[in-house]
Each structure stands twice: as structure tokens, then as C-alpha cells.
Structure 1
Amino acid sequence: MCTWTRCLGVGVWGVWLGMAPAWGQSGLSGEALKLYGGRYALDCANPQSPRVQVQAAAVVVEQGNQRLTAQSLQAAHSYFGQSAPPGFLVALLGQVQSRHEVVFLVKGDARGQYIEINGDKTVMANLGALGKRPFRSCDAAINQRAQGYLRQEQQARVAAAAPVASGTANYPSELIRDAQFKSVYRRALGQLASHPWLARMDGPAPELKPEVVAGTNYMLAAFCKPHDCGDNNAVLLYDAPQGRVYGLVHMGGRNTVVGSPPGPVMAELNRLWRREWRQGK
């Protein structure tokens, strides 16, 4: 059986015995420690329960007289980018023995705040069954704050999915919630609608802006794929009164036209695309 000493080696035990580490001087800020620090356990009512101690300079997993210490801590609020799972609060990134990666995912649910552990194969082998269990915060105030955050997140998620009245959108992520636009846009996209970033229009984007093309008033929407704006981006021209959408999608190194734009509009789409995504080049 793989014990923590045998799998990780004796070098890490010096840290457990209180010796100063030779690596990683980073750590959690005072604010992060206030929000996510303290004792987490499988059973907070049992002093002997396996537990996780989140400290400024280290996160320590303890079971009996065995300890696994992660240092070089960093708090990553955008660990999942724009696709964070429900209840995600922060990822605490650390290293064991300065070479084994470990992530402590801090989340919230209806019961409060808890931690899930994920790490490289060596770390997870050492933790065994503990690596599959959530450790609940033992601080009542922290749990209440997490419950409040979860309620706010749920309210924001409902608001973000609510319909938007025609003509009131300020960003592409709001425009896609305009039922009239969405119907026209999805028809124009055709098979391109299978790409989530195009279908949802929820990536990085500037505000919508008016554009006059060939004597017609359009609304210009420019948006891109999260974390990959340079290679996956788009510009759209929306004529609300006539229910028309024309666009240019750049994906996979090539441009694809959306909505069969007439010649003058096609030329303008190319110019607008260069202006928005190639700094006018």
C-alpha cells in the first residue's frame, strides 16, 4: 500500500516537523486567508477527523499523524475562465516538495463552503480515498458567507438568461437574448451554430455600436471565443427593422461569410473585421 512517507519521500517530512522550506515564498493575501482560510474537515464535530488546514503559506492535509503539505500557494479566481462550475469560489494552487502539483478547489453550496482536492498522480495516490472526499469548512461565518454568495450567483445566472427587449442590448451576450435577433441569427449561422462560442456570443466583446453601410443602419457586434480571440472571432451587422444578419466569422485560419451579404456589405464586413480584430491592418 502506498503510504504518504513512502510515495512522497522523506524530504517533505522536514516541513511537517516545522523546518523552514527552501522553496516558494508566495502565499495567500490577508483577504484571501479571511475568505478561504481555516479548518476544513470531513466531520467538524470530531477533533480527530481528517482535515485540511488553509494557512497563509501552506495548505496542510492531515489524517492522524500523517500530513501532506502544499506550499508556493497562489489563489486563482479565474482558474476555469468563463466556464466555472456552479459554486466555484477560488482555486488554491500549490506544490508538494516543490514538484508535485496540487489544486484545492474552494466551492460553496447550500450547506456552506468546502474544498475538493485535485493533484498529480503522486499526490492523489498518497491521498487515496481522501482525495475523493469534500472537506467542509468548520467556520460558521465562512459557511454563511458562502451560502449568500451561492444565492447571489443563482440570481445572477437567472438574470443572465432572462430575455432582453428588442433594441435594449448593449453587448453581444445581451443581444443573443433578444428573441427576434436570436431567431434570425441562428438561421443565418446554419451549421456554424454547433460551435458554442458562436451560438452563445458570450466571449470577450466590446459594446454594440451603430454602423451605416450602403445607406442602411445596422448594429455592429464583435465578439470572440474565450481564451482564443486571435484565432476565433466574428463581426456581425444586424438590421433589426428588416430582420437581417450578415457576418464574417474567422475560425480555423479561414473566414466564413454568414447570411449571404450583398457586395457592398461584404466589402464593409471585411473592413470592419480588420478594424476590430487586426487593428485595421
Structure 2
Amino acid sequence: MNTSMMTASVTMGQLQKKMDTIAHNMANTNTTGFKRREATFSDLLFQQVNNQTVPSMETGRLTPNGIRVGAGAKIGQTSLRTEQGSIQQTDRPLDLAIQNPSHFFQVEVSNNGESEVRYTRDGAFYFSQNPNNPDVLNVVTGQGHQLLGPNGPITVPADHSEVQIDENGRISVILRDGTTAPAGQVELVRVQRPQILEQIGENLFGLPDNLIEQGYVPADILGVIGAEQASLKQGALEMSNVDIGKEMSEMLLAQRSYQFNARSISTADQMMGLVNSIR
């Protein structure tokens, strides 16, 4: 196959993956707590073609000897960008916005009958009836996953009239008789290596199954923070950190690159046609 065709076709396939990443970011512009991803490219292997067989002819040459013929480019990394999103006031008691970009909520997810801990920045929580105790309510995500504290899933008395959550994550409720009672603590984790986290859907992150093979242990990635280090805002939500203007610019650049490589294939095909038509 013509080298230029092969190089262009390989690069086009990788550009399509970048377009998919951009499309995913744009589709989640209004997703609470969503963190965008950014694709970067790196060169594939290249071949050094030394077509000059007379060394004396290269005297005074300033550029590298020979010709470097590349094999295109590939996605080098799709990095998770954890910059803080804008805070939107909602005045809803169970909406919580994390004000530190490296902190995450912990939620309990049931997977094939086993409970696993997952991590999210989505602070929209709700009350759900506890099936084992009608006198208490579970605090859950929109998908029904329970919010975790230092002692497990957080629950509050069902007969409360108001919920208050301070900036350190301490939860207190005002009961219907007017008394105030503590109801738990939101426990956050600090993500020290966000690029190791794995997106598993529903705006959740988890640790990869091959973490040990990568040379890490969970303590290298996550660290539980104390209540005094937490910074929450009740009645507000962190919005997506996607900049729609930036994503549109990246999409246009990717489309232009794709078009350029497609033109390379077309030009190479025309050249091969001219050669084949020579009699």
C-alpha cells in the first residue's frame, strides 16, 4: 500500500477517537459534576530512509541525513481534567457542591450482589426509605446509590423537618418536636492520581481491576480527608467543567485534520492512477 495512504488512514482512525471524546464532553455540558477528558496525540514509529549512498555529497548538510517516513499519529493519552466547575445555587437542602477540585464523594454501589465503593462529584442527593427500618431514611444518589460516611451509609431520622449540612460535611436534623440531633458526617476522599481512575458510567469513577499490575496500591490513589479539611456548600451544585467554546474549537481543528488526511488519500490515489495509465 502507498505509504501516504497508510499514514493518513491510521491518523484518521485516531482523529475519530478524538472526535468521540469531544462529542462525549459536549453531550455532558449540563451534567452535574461531570469532568471533561482531553485527548493528546503522539507520533507512531518512523522509518529512516538513507537514500544518499555517496557520503561526500552530504558535506555541509544542515538537516538530518536521509528521509524520515512516519506511520501517522495515535492518541497518546485521554486525560481526565479535574478543574473546578462553576457553582450553581439551588437552595435545595440535599444538594451539595464540593469546593475543592481534588475531593470526591463516596457512594456504595451493588454489583452482582457485592457492595463496592465508587467516587463522584455529583452532589445531587435524595432521601430513600430504608427497607430494613421505616424510622430512618437513606441518603442516595439519583441512581439509588447510598452516600457514605465514616461509619458506612448515611441515614437520617424519618420524622425530621429540616436538614442542615455545614461546610465540613456534618449533618444535623431538626426533628418535628423542635430539637436538633446529629445525623452523621459526609466523608470525602482526596484523589491524588485522577488519571488512574476509571470511568464506569452514571458519572461514577472507580479503581481499575489491574491496579496492582500497574504498580499502585489504593493508598497511592486515594486518601480519606478529615472533616476539618472538607469544603462543602449546601443548597448548591457543581456544574460540568466543560467549556463549550473550547470544545467547538477542538472539534473544528479535528475536522480540519481529518479532511487534510482524507485529501492525502485522494491525492495518492490520483498519483497511482496516473502512474498506472502511463503506456
Same fold (TM over 0.5): no
Q: Which has the higher helix share?
A: 1
TM-score norm. by structure 2 comes to: 0.24
TM-score norm. by structure 1 comes to: 0.24
Q: Which has the higher strand share?
A: 2
Q: Which has the larger radius of gyration?
A: 2
Q: Which has the higher contact order (CA 8 A, sep 6+)?
A: 2
